[in-house]
Amino acid sequence: MTTIYFVRHGETDWNREGRLQGKTDTDLNARGRSQARAVAETLRRAVEADFGAGALKDLPVYASPLKRTRQTADLLLEALALPGLAIGLEPRVAEIGFGHWEGRTWSEIRMRDPINHRDRERDRWRFAPPGGESYAGVAERVGGFLAESERPCCVVSHGGVARVMMHLLADLPAEQVLHADIWQGRVLRFAAGQMAWLPRPGHA
């Protein structure tokens, strides 16, 4: 397995409000733009520590086609002084689709769609909301992308994709990854079957 540096998109207003975004296009807010720029130094240090000075300019960057991830990737490369580096838009690392639940909070879903919410609680990995996807389905498309990743790369994507990658690349149980914290403004490094959230410069 190659080394993959995963970056979740920065904060959006829907993140702050606890609304499911899925395939809905949302913009970064001011905090999200700051997070996207701040993650640059963590990525620089990690890549140089792993592969040496100058390796960053040759690192492929793939991003979900959704607006919040494209904005994050653009700001990240701008902060790295690599604005000319091409970003590969990769549909297979787009966020899990929540279908008719998008735009709602979990409390709203529990109230408006209690039966489907109950079914989701019974099997979160395989359940697909009305018009949406299951994590198992997302794992199939993300797995196809990972199978083609033969060299170190950076993936700018979403929380649901991070959970799937934890399962596929670090062999964590599905139930565990569905309750894991997925941070914004951080780098998650996958290598040799292991994963680690990298410390931010100036933080313990």
9 as an active site residue: the answer is yes
Please identify which of the residues 9, 100, 167, 203 carries the catalytic annotation.
Answer: 9
> Measured between alpha carbons, how far is 145 from 78 in angstroms, rounded to an integer?
25
The residue type found at 199 is: P
117 as an active site residue: the answer is no
**Residue located via tokens 């792993």:** 50
Please identify which of the residues 158, 167, 179, 203 carries the catalytic annotation.
Answer: 158
The residue type found at 202 is: G
Residues catalogued as catalytic:
9, 158
